[in-house]
Structure 1
Amino acid sequence: MNDRFKLAVTGQSLIKHDIRDIPDPAFREVQRLLRQADLSFTNFEGTILGSHGGWPLKGSFFGCSDPIVLDTLRAIGFGALSLSNNHAFDLGPSGVLSTLEEVERRDFLHAGLGRDHSEVSRATTGSIGGRRVAIVAMDGGPGPDFMYAANADGNRPGRPGVNRLGLTQRIEVDEAAFEQLAAIRDRVGYTAIDLANDSQPDDRPHLDPETEIGIARAVFSRSERFGRSVRIDEDDLARNLASITAASADGSLVIAYLHHHHWASDWYQVPDWVGGVAKRCIDAGAAMFVSHGAPVLQPIEVYRGRPIFYSLGNFIFHVRSEKSTWTAPEVWESVIGLCSFGEDNRLLEITLHPVIIGGEHGLADRLEQRLAPHLATRESAERILRRFSEQSARLGVDVGVSDGVGVIRF
């Protein structure tokens, strides 16, 4: 094993175009950072339209890419990908097969998609620079049941799909509101059969009749307060934790990854349940936890000497201006985290390099023109790192800032 191993992690890459030929020096600096690492990791936020074809399974948020974008990610420095996210099934099982085929053809270390449930549940392991590295990548949705991988069973064939961490939202209401909802349900004659019909194509939710009410796709939970909560499928979590433990026991540096859209109303706030999942992954043996979904940079926490990147926001974000809601500057800003590990996969240092998609001046352009991440400098770098440092300090992490770079030492 090498004495020192450097792993770069970035925001998610929703990539539609080949950006290799963009000559801007600030983009070249980003590539230099990625290539400086022994391994660079991102989430490929999409699905490939390839030899297996496929059909759109979404409305206005549908997206697919040509295989050339994978060549782009390879060329700019990435060697590892998560494939588990809400766009991975946009072309259905056919898109999953095409994505796996093209990713494997380019020899990426990858996880999060599989040809069936058994395949998608295993950690993917490779040897990079003399170090064993493994990825367990999960998606928490929300998404329909049919996007997740399944084994053949009886008369049902197996299904290619995403590795699931089952998460279901509950709307919490107080006692009086709960009784009112129960009365409304009974007055309109809403039955279990109606709930089953409204839940299609998914199975109807499992409800506690004393504390939960399901109407259409909403589940209301009896509580002492009003709010929202997330219920975690413990079987799914246990299955993924077992994969982490097995890979860690084999000596691998394990990246535990989660993509989800169960955000807090304030995108900068980290829901409590995410921290719980992250820490259980680390307890199981993960060397780090990385998450995407919320389209902004969220804080870092250090637990048992291991980093938790709650959301690294966006790294490449190819979207259209028409009817877009992604106009806030924070959506286009993030950091590259360069994590240095020593013997026994012990974390030694993290350096944080701020980036702006399209560059600082590109924020005035149409969204279609913001194609590549640029290394941020001067005031922009200080501003991004200051916000990140202040948020992380609330979780007990001291991020030093010097010359436009953040540093965490252990």
Structure 2
Amino acid sequence: MTKAITLAVTGDLVLDEPDPGYWLAEIAPVLQEADLAIGHLEVPHTVSAEQLEGDVPAPGAPLENLDALARAGFDMVSLAGNHMADCGAQGIADTIAELDRLGIGHAGAGADLSRARTPAVAEAKGRRVALLSYNCVGPQAGWAKERSAGCAYLPLDTRDGAPVAPMSEIVGVPATVAEMLAEDIAEARKVADFVIVALHKGKVHTPSFVAPYEREVARLAVDGGADAVVSHHAHIVRGIEFHRGRPIFHGLGNGCVVTRALSPDQDNAARREWATRRRELFGFEPDPAYYLAPFHPEAVNAFIGTLALGDGPPRAAIVPVHVEAPGRPVLAAGPRARAIADYLEKITRDAGLPPIAVNDKGRVEAVS
């Protein structure tokens, strides 16, 4: 029997602040202990000042901050999200060039759609893991085309037929989605032993909720041959389910988000207006102590997901993480770790997903 390889998976990464290594330092040991670590890079790292229309634009983060990801232990990142194209084609090109220089694999964005759909591949213990990455929430202006840069995406149906945008109500999953996933996963399987699919999906800043389309798309990825599905975008963790014995992380929350771009106290009018609307739309007032991570109060309950990939079905677990003010993730222990595990069990039930149990070592299993 071949020894299993371990993966650590995190949600959104936004490193706008100076000394990015400091913000990652407390979770880095878990990433470094795993055979491979995967995160989701939320914003471009670039000097480009271009601003994409179609969503509240994120500013480009410092290019040099990407070095902290390599030092923290990240081997691959997914890029297909609603902000990766915010600084245009140059923002994507700058980000990819620096990731390549650092030896961090990437999937989900590129100079054209073909390259955006190409998997990242990393090797550990003689076995190869492929990562595919898709944007499910728009904005469509940031999606890659045959001859233009952007993100890989899954073409979902909105209620009003309008272009997909982060606040759209998504009501349908066309048959082409299953076909795309099966095609890309089959191609990835030619060069890898395991395939992980990353989905940027869901409704932001809302505890527990998992929309029907989210479950359908994630299950289609498993049906198409994925060994596990990981998700992000909501900036708060979501439940875990198993389909055909394969784990689906419906929301990894924030891996590490430290930015002033979400504050109402700034020069950019669109971002300032969104900070006000966010309170009105989602009904919470961020704790002022979390000025670098002004999210829902429950977003302090976080975790790093882990996967053991071997000859049998993947094994899933969590490493509980507490987000301390003003936004730094730290490993949780003792009663705090148990409280986060209990929270994950609760939000899984509240979302209408099949119940799970998280033991005191973090192992996650379906409850029969």
TM range (shorter): 0.7 to 0.9
Tell me the equivalent position of 2:364. 408
Tell me the equivalent position of 2:287. none
CA–CA distance in 2 between the matches of 1:29 and 1:95? 29
Structure 2: stretches of 5+ with no match in the other structure: 265-274, 279-293
Shift of 1:341: 1.8
Would you say 1:255 and 2:251 are equivalent positions? no
Query: 55-64 or 104-113: which moved more?
Result: 55-64
**What SS is found at the alignment partner of 1:295?**
coil
CA–CA distance in 1 between the matches of 2:224 and 2:21? 42
Tell me the equivalent position of 2:142. 147
Shift of 1:378: 3.1
**What SS is found at the alignment partner of 1:11?**
strand
**Of residues 235, 248, 251 in structure 1, which corresponds to 2:176?**
235
Tell me the equivalent position of 1:41. 38
Tell me the equivalent position of 2:282. none
Shift of 1:251: 4.5
Question: In 1, are the aligned partners of 2:46 and 2:60 still within 8 Å (CA)?
Answer: yes
**What SS is found at the alignment partner of 1:353?**
strand
Tell me the equivalent position of 1:166. 155
Question: In 2, are the aligned partners of 1:54 and 1:93 still within 8 Å (CA)?
Answer: no
The residue type paired with residue 155 of structure 2 is G
The residue type paired with residue 239 of structure 1 is M
Gap change, CA 1:18 and 1:338, over 3 Å in 2: farther
Question: In 1, are the aligned partners of 2:157 and 2:171 still within 8 Å (CA)?
Answer: yes
Question: In 1, are the aligned partners of 2:109 and 2:152 still within 8 Å (CA)?
Answer: yes
Would you say 1:389 and 2:345 are equivalent positions? yes
| Aligned alpha-carbon RMSD (Å) | 2.7
Pick the structure with greater CA Rg: 1
Q: TM-score, normalised by structure 2?
A: 0.81
Question: In 2, are the aligned partners of 1:332 and 1:356 still within 8 Å (CA)?
Answer: yes
The residue type paired with residue 217 of structure 2 is V
CA–CA distance in 1 between the matches of 2:156 and 2:309? 32
**Of residues 127, 133, 139 in structure 1, which corresponds to 2:129?**
133
Shift of 1:88: 0.3
Gap change, CA 1:399 and 1:19, over 3 Å in 2: farther
CA–CA distance in 2 between the matches of 1:149 and 1:135? 18
Shift of 1:254: 0.4
**Of residues 239, 246, 254 in structure 2, which corresponds to 1:314?**
254
Question: In 1, are the aligned partners of 2:205 and 2:235 still within 8 Å (CA)?
Answer: no
Tell me the equivalent position of 1:120. 116
Tell me the equivalent position of 1:375. 331
**What SS is found at the alignment partner of 1:13?**
strand
Shift of 1:239: 2.1
Q: CA deviation digits over 1:326-364, x for unaligned, max 9?
A: 3432223311112112226x31x333111122x2xx2xx
Tell me the equivalent position of 1:107. 103
Gap change, CA 1:17 and 1:264, over 3 Å in 2: closer
Q: TM-score, normalised by structure 1?
A: 0.74
**What SS is found at the alignment partner of 2:359?**
strand
Tell me the equivalent position of 1:17. 17
The residue type paired with residue 107 of structure 1 is G
Would you say 1:30 and 2:27 are equivalent positions? yes
Q: CA deviation digits over 1:278-316, x for unaligned, max 9?
A: 111111110100111112111100111110000111121
Would you say 1:399 and 2:357 are equivalent positions? yes
CA–CA distance in 2 between the matches of 1:121 and 1:11? 20
Question: In 1, are the aligned partners of 2:3 and 2:310 still within 8 Å (CA)?
Answer: yes
The residue type paired with residue 128 of structure 2 is R
**What SS is found at the alignment partner of 1:22?**
helix
Percent identical among aligned pairs is: 26
The residue type paired with residue 147 of structure 1 is G
**What SS is found at the alignment partner of 2:70?**
helix
Gap change, CA 1:18 and 1:319, over 3 Å in 2: closer
Would you say 1:353 and 2:319 are equivalent positions? yes
Shift of 1:266: 4.6
CA–CA distance in 1 between the matches of 2:237 and 2:191? 32
Question: In 1, are the aligned partners of 2:76 and 2:122 still within 8 Å (CA)?
Answer: no
Tell me the equivalent position of 1:298. 238
**What SS is found at the alignment partner of 2:362?**
strand
